[in-house]
């Protein structure tokens, strides 16, 4: 009975061979790759001679993209694990103010202030995750509560200790600190000076910094972005834990049945998201030399948009860190590109809404192709 049907089955399978196009479509990154190419071609045509692709312009959109990428790395893994973190933006403001108050007001060494901020953020991330797991409530609601709680605490802490919402003086406090340059430093100064001397990149032609290159090196922020993307990508695609992230977001019950520690995975991903927010906050505080209570507004949504443009499903279980990083690149290039192209900057939000909608529609179609549902 079984032999003839088995043979028929195989023939049947061969008839259903998928085309290479369909195979390529069923990769989460495809949309983001096409999007990135389109965006670059578009701005090369529209703003090619505006300095957008000169060293200074490149640094400009690279920095913005790197900022998005840091947050997107955390949001991506968390979304694949099936959860959101809407408290990321508020966490950025909170971490910054913690660093500033500890180092400037309390006189702690900056490294201790930074490490404390990380400890506090990881703790809040764990609380987020713990509440979501224990209450069974959607993470949307739990982290929305923390969006307000943390923002309120940030403003209150800042005003209560300094009567201001901006706390300066971190720059002076960080002089000579060993940890601060890891977040606010600039690498390859020598190389860039040498390239300037060779006349390969632009240098200042007047003023106090005459002879110095306009772009003095690569900010630490960019290395953090690359490092976090690499870490998240390897973790997701090359480790046992990565499989658990997919499984936890794909179907938590099914994953539990075969022994995946779903609660642990989700809580750790909330902590990773909080870690990324703290990296972002620390880099920003070190760059500006100050903390402000309103930093990080709307960053949680921007991070989620990057991840969705990168092909992840809002419902979890599917997505790619590389896609999310490309989403961040698209985001950064368009935001800065419109400025170089002299476009009305408010149009950026229109673009954002449109591309978000397109990405979500496309992801839904892709999901149907994978799961075969109609």
Partner 1 sequence: MSEAAPILEMRGIEKHFGPVVALAGVSFDIRPGECHCLLGDNGAGKSTFIKTMSGVHRPTRGEIFFEGRPLRFSSPRDAMEAGVATVFQDLAMIPLMSVTRNFWMGREPQKRLGPLKLFDRARAEAVVAEQMREMGINLRQADQAVGTLSGGERQTVAIARAVYFGAKVLILDEPTSALGVRQTSHVLATIDRARARGVGVVFITHNARHALAVGDRFTVLNRGRTLGTARKGEVAITELQDLMAGGGEMADMSALGEGAL
Binding site for partner 1 (CB under 8 A): 1-2, 5-6, 8-10, 13, 17-18, 23, 26, 234, 238-240, 242-244, 246-247, 250-251, 253-255, 257-260, 313, 317-318, 367, 370-373
Three-state secondary structure string covering 246-282 = HHHHHCHHHHHHCCCCHHHHHHHHHHHHHHHHHHHHH
Say if CB 114 and CB 183 are below 8 A apart. yes
Q: If phi over 0 gives left and psi between -120 and 50 gives alpha, with beta otherwise, what is residue 211?
A: left
Say if CB 111 and CB 322 are below 8 A apart. no
Nearer to partner 1, 76 or 88 (CB): 76
Nearer to partner 1, 8 or 141 (CB): 8
Nearer to partner 1, 26 or 298 (CB): 26
Nearer to partner 1, 61 or 244 (CB): 244
DSSP code of residue 203: B
Q: From the CB of 70, what's the least distance to partner 1, in Å?
A: 22
> What are phi and psi for residue 186, nearest 5 degrees?
-130, 125
Cα separations in angstroms, 111 against 54, 176, 238, 290: 35, 10, 33, 15
Give the largest CA-CA distance in the chain.
Answer: 90
Q: From the CB of 88, what's the least distance to partner 1, in Å?
A: 25
Nearer to partner 1, 8 or 298 (CB): 8
Nearer to partner 1, 14 or 206 (CB): 14
Q: From the CB of 81, what's the least distance to partner 1, in Å?
A: 13
Nearer to partner 1, 134 or 368 (CB): 368
Strand pairing class (218-219; 186-187): antiparallel
CA 3 – CA 171 distance, rounded (Å): 77
> What are phi and psi for residue 291, nearest 5 degrees?
-120, 150
- What 3-state DSSP class applies to 218? strand
Strands (E), 268-352: 291-292
Q: From the CB of 84, what's the least distance to partner 1, in Å?
A: 18
Nearer to partner 1, 30 or 126 (CB): 30
Token match 């949680």: residue? 300
Q: Under 8 Å CB-to-CB from 269, ≥6 apart: which residues?
A: 77, 78, 81, 83, 129, 245
Q: From the CB of 128, what's the least distance to partner 1, in Å?
A: 24
Q: From the CB of 260, what's the least distance to partner 1, in Å?
A: 5
What sign does the dihedral 213-218-221-226 (CA atoms) show?
Answer: positive
Q: From the CB of 262, what's the least distance to partner 1, in Å?
A: 10
Q: From the CB of 17, what's the least distance to partner 1, in Å?
A: 7
Q: From the CB of 229, what's the least distance to partner 1, in Å?
A: 17
- What 3-state DSSP class applies to 347? helix
Nearest to 61, CA basis, from 355, 337, 276: 337
- What 3-state DSSP class applies to 149? helix
Nearer to partner 1, 9 or 209 (CB): 9
Q: From the CB of 80, what's the least distance to partner 1, in Å?
A: 10
Q: Under 8 Å CB-to-CB from 192, ≥6 apart: which residues?
A: 201, 213, 215, 216, 217
Nearer to partner 1, 212 or 251 (CB): 251
């Amino acid at each position: 009975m079984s032999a003839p049907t088995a043979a028929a089955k195989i023939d049947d399978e061969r008839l259903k061979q998928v085309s290479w196009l369909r195979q390529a479509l069923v990769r989460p990154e495809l949309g983001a790759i096409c999007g990135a190419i389109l965006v670059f071609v578009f701005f090369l045509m529209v703003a090619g001679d505006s300095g957008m692709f000169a060293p200074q312009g490149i640094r400009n959109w690279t920095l913005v993209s790197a900022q998005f990428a840091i947050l997107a790395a955390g949001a991506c893994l968390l979304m694949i694990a099936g959860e959101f973190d809407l408290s990321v933006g508020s966490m950025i403001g909170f971490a910054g103010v913690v660093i500033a108050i500890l180092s400037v007001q309390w006189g702690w060494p900056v490294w201790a202030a930074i490490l404390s901020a990380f400890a506090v953020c990881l703790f809040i991330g764990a609380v987020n995750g713990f509440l979501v797991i224990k209450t069974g409530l959607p993470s949307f609601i739990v982290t929305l509560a923390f969006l307000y709680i943390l923002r309120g605490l940030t403003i209150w802490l800042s005003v209560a200790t300094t009567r201001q919402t901006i706390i300066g003086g971190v720059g002076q406090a960080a002089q000579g600190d060993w940890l601060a340059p890891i977040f606010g430093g600039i690498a390859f100064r020598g190389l860039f000076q040498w390239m300037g001397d060779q006349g390969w990149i632009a240098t200042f032609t007047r003023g106090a910094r005459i002879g110095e290159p306009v772009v003095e090196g690569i900010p630490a922020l960019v290395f953090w972005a690359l490092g976090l993307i690499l870490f998240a990508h390897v973790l997701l695609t090359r480790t046992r834990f990565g499989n658990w992230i997919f499984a936890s977001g794909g179907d938590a019950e099914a994953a539990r049945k075969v022994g995946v520690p779903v609660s642990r995975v989700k809580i750790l991903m909330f902590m990773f998201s909080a870690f990324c927010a703290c990296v972002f906050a620390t880099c920003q505080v070190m760059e500006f030399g100050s903390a402000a209570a309103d930093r990080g507004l709307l960053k949680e949504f921007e991070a989620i948009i990057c991840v969705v443009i990168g092909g992840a499903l809002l419902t979890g279980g599917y997505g790619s860190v590389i896609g999310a990083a490309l989403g961040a690149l698209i985001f950064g290039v368009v935001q800065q590109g419109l400025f170089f192209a002299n476009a009305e900057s408010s149009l950026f939000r229109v673009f954002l809404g449109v591309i978000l909608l397109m990405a979500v529609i496309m992801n839904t179609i892709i999901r149907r192709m994978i799961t075969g549902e109609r």
